[in-house]
Amino acid sequence: MTALRRFGLLAPLAAMSLAGCGLNSVPTAEEQVNASWANLQADYQRRADLIPNLVNTVKGYAKQESSVLIEVTQARANAGRVQLNASDLDDPAKVKAFNDAQSRLTQAIIPLQRLQEAYPDLKSNQNFLALQSQLEGTENRIAVARKDYVTAVQAYNTQLRTIPGRWIAAVMYPDAKVKESFTAAETAQEAPKVKF
């Protein structure tokens, strides 16, 4: 057998053994983090898009509750100003700032949802009910997407911190950095105050 022919037979075997050794596990895990982050961003955007419609619907019924509406509108605007890209997921300060802005928005939405209890006509308004249902569903989607993101970050960070992933990353992917996960914001521990 010629050397070229032997190489031709051994090349596929070598490629399969390299693929099975986890050589691609680091970028695969990082792509899962990025995909999970993109899904979470989409749910945050969905919430941001729903809020103006909900606020406008409530305005017609609860004009005297303008402070609640202003707070929600401001929290939405502030949350929209804090941007976090996939390339920033290894910066703890940027992740915390983003998480805090989203938590403030979540806290601001709760009194808005409670307005229906003070205004019985609002309960029967189909637009309000549909928007509130979509917002509640979006909040649930955000919770699931955050859980998925945290799980993806955990898997990725584990790859970078354990052997053989640590060795593979050091040799093949030296720019790979540990990603930041989410933690509950301090305000999440406080029950929102709802006043009418």
pLDDT digits (tens, 9 = 90+) for 15-55: 455 545 677 889 999 999 999 999 999 998 988 888 887 77
- Distance in angstroms (rounded) separating the CA atoms of residues 38 and 149: 9
pLDDT, averaged across the chain: 79
CATH number at residue 111: 1.20.1440.20
Structural domain boundaries enclosing 97? 43-143
Residues, the chain, total?
196
Compute the radius of gyration of the chain from its Cα atoms: 24
Q: Is 90 among the domain residues? A: yes
Q: Is 13 among the domain residues? A: no
pLDDT tens per residue, range 93-103? 998 889 888 88
Q: Is 35 among the domain residues? A: no
Q: Is 129 among the domain residues? A: yes
Q: Is 72 among the domain residues? A: yes
- Distance in angstroms (rounded) separating the CA atoms of residues 107 and 193: 9
Mean pLDDT value of segment 7-16:
54
| Tally of structural domains, the chain | 1
- Distance in angstroms (rounded) separating the CA atoms of residues 162 and 151: 16
